């Protein structure tokens, strides 16, 4: 289960931690410097990177999803923000003011930028690579294991649920039809799924123990993550951007 899109691109080859650094910068900088030009710059850089990763089209549905929210921010702030003075235009009885619209634009740019930055990580990074990168940096193996397992198990659970649904339906249980019927039909399904998971947990824990999962030695990672020469430079740039923003804020 992942949103990862396999494409040959430089962005895909970057270290997941570098992309995490980028998220850190792309999220904090527009908040430290609360002006539209900075938010616009950050969003622009993010979407250029998404284009370089050849995944820009994958972000569009996400943007479509938030568009109504952003639109409502423009309407509400444009008409009702307390600071509103300078009238820009009116549609019949609706008056829109410059201050409100400007503030809504700032908010929207930030939202679009943040969505893009997270998408950059999620769309161009294999989840297992990200988890391994974090484990190499000290994420406890138990947590790494659980994260990996959850990513693998979700589709399995969905499969199991489907199989059980089919089995229950074969025995005459209502699983189609009106929403209420389906909700009622869902509860008898939970039993087998949860019981399965519960019974197996203990055996699984034993199986992990005998494979030295609790070993205190430093683990080896079979999968070699290739280091890209640009990684260090990019991380420094991200850090520099944050520092610059702080300085700008303190001085300006």
129-135, long-range: CB < 8 A, 24+ apart = 129/16, 129/223, 129/225, 130/16, 132/221, 132/223, 132/225, 133/15, 133/16, 133/17, 133/225, 134/16, 134/17, 135/219, 135/221
Answer yes or no whether residue 197 interacts with other proteins by CB under 8 A.
no
* Rounded CA separation 58/199 (Å): 40
Answer yes or no whether residue 138 interacts with other proteins by CB under 8 A.
no
- The residue written with tokens 């229950």 in the block is 168
At CA 141, angle to CA 135 and CA 142, rounded to 5? 140
What's the min distance (Å) between Cβ of 125 and other proteins?
14
Within residues 56-95, the interface with other proteins by CB under 8 A covers none
Answer yes or no whether residue 220 interacts with other proteins by CB under 8 A.
yes
- The residue written with tokens 């503030």 in the block is 103
Stretch that binds other proteins, among 24-32, 162-170, 212-220, 230-238 (CB under 8 A): 212-220
The alpha carbon of residue 64 and the mean position of all alpha carbons in its chain are separated, in whole angstroms, by 16
Q: Which residue number, 63 or 161, has a Cβ lying nearer to other proteins?
A: 161
* Rounded CA separation 91/181 (Å): 46
Binds other proteins by CB under 8 A, chosen from 1, 10, 149, 247: 149
Stretch that binds other proteins, among 17-25, 42-50, 167-175, 218-226 (CB under 8 A): 218-226
Q: Which residue number, 153 or 237, has a Cβ lying nearer to other proteins?
A: 153
Binds other proteins by CB under 8 A, chosen from 10, 215, 239, 247: 215
**C-alpha distances in Å from residue 190, one per residue of 28, 101, 120:** 42, 49, 36
Binds other proteins by CB under 8 A, chosen from 24, 134, 153, 185: 153
Rounded to the nearest 10 degrees, the angle between the axes of helix 16-32 and helix 36-52 is 160
Contact 94, 70 (CB under 8 A): no
Binds other proteins by CB under 8 A, chosen from 61, 203, 250, 252: 203
Binds other proteins by CB under 8 A, chosen from 91, 183, 210, 250: 210
Answer yes or no whether residue 233 interacts with other proteins by CB under 8 A.
no
Contact 213, 141 (CB under 8 A): yes
Binds other proteins by CB under 8 A, chosen from 44, 195, 208, 247: 208
Binding residues for other proteins, total number by CB under 8 A = 32
Answer yes or no whether residue 222 interacts with other proteins by CB under 8 A.
yes
Answer yes or no whether residue 166 interacts with other proteins by CB under 8 A.
no
Positions that interact with other proteins (CB under 8 A): 128, 141, 144-145, 148-149, 152-153, 156, 200, 203-224
């Amino acid at each position: 289960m992942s949103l990862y899109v396999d494409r040959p691109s430089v962005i895909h080859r970057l270290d997941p931690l570098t992309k995490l650094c980028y998220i850190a910068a792309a999220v904090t900088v527009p908040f430290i410097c609360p002006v539209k030009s900075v938010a616009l710059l950050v969003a622009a850089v993010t979407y250029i990177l998404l284009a370089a990763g050849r995944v820009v089209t994958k972000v569009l549905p996400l943007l479509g999803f938030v568009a109504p929210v952003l639109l409502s921010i423009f309407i509400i702030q444009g008409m009702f923000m307390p600071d509103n003075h300078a009238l820009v235009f009116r549609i019949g009885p609706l008056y829109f003011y410059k201050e409100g619209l400007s503030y809504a634009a700032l908010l929207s740019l930030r939202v679009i930028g943040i969505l893009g930055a997270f998408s950059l990580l999620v769309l161009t990074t294999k989840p297992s690579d990200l988890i391994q990168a974090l484990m190499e940096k000290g994420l406890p193996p138990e947590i790494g294991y659980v994260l990996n397992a959850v990513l693998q198990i979700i589709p399995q659970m969905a499969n199991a649920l489907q199989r059980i649904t089919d089995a229950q339906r074969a025995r005459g249980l209502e699983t189609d039809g009106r929403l209420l019927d389906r909700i009622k039909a869902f509860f008898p399904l939970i039993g087998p799924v949860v019981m399965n998971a519960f019974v197996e947990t203990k055996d699984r824990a034993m199986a992990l123990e005998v494979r030295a999962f609790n070993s205190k030695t430093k683990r080896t990672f079979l999968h070699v993550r290739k280091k890209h020469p640009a990684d260090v430079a990019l991380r420094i740039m991200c850090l520099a951007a944050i520092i610059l923003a702080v300085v700008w804020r303190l001085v300006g």
